[in-house]
Amino acid sequence: MNLTTDLEIWTLIANASIVVQLIMLLLLSVSFMSWLFIFRKFFAIRRARAQTEHFEREFYSKDLNALYQGAVSNRHLSGSLERIFEAGYREFAKLRGQRGADPTSMVDGARRAMRATHQREMDHLESHLAFLASAGSVSPYVGLFGTVWGIMHAFRGLANVQQATLAQVAPGIAEALIATAIGLFAAIPAVVAYNRYAHDIDRLAIRFESFMEEFSNILQRQASR
């Protein structure tokens, strides 16, 4: 080990053992991926919330047939709630066109179609959240492993030294602690983002569930006519 007294961060990283350097590289890669998913998920949730609010306003001001035609013609621009509506209304219209269709079976079929679409939309919204949760929970321990390894490496290098001084010990310990610092740098934003996005997605899921129940009631009244 190079017993340098230069405690500049880049010098400490360069003088760290290969295991600690690999751990630092791994943690920096995890941090980069976490920030990438954080920004992507931020814009995805904001867009989903705006699309949901827009469709809710249209739902209470337009005819169902007009809403369905708009959803079909602009499918590439529709949001999650609009796709849930489209799936339910399409199944309802299909069953309603059959002879002798029971009103209850029509509504149940529409509800099942909406439920399946709802699950696909939630899977899409929740994508990459598991990575943020894993990064937030595992990164500190990976950094701690790098610190322990670095300290062991530092003290092993002092085994043949008769009298260890602070100038000899400090660089090895400092370079080892950088791994813990990088682990926390990767973990803290991931944990904060995961908690926030999980809360936002849960609120969207509640709005979707409420819409499906209300829309099912509307379909029930139409099927009974």
Q: Is 128 left (phi over 0), alpha (psi -120 to 50) or beta?
A: left
* pLDDT at residue 222, rounded to an integer: 83
Helix (H) or strand (E) holding 196: helix 166-223
SS3 call for 101: coil
Residue 72 confidence class, pLDDT cut points 50, 70, 90: confident
- Region 172-192: mean pLDDT is 87
- Region 115-137: mean pLDDT is 94
pLDDT at position 1 over 60: no
| Distance, CA of 196 to CA of 186 (rounded, Å) | 16
* pLDDT at residue 165, rounded to an integer: 61
Longest C-alpha distance within the chain, in Å?
Answer: 96
| Distance, CA of 221 to CA of 34 (rounded, Å) | 47
* pLDDT at residue 158, rounded to an integer: 64
- Contact (Cβ atoms closer than 8 angstroms) between residue 46 and residue 22: no
The better pLDDT of the pair 129, 77 is held by: 129
Q: Please, what is the average pLDDT of the chain?
A: 85
Angle at the Cα of 119 from the Cα atoms of 115 and 120, rounded to 5 degrees:
120
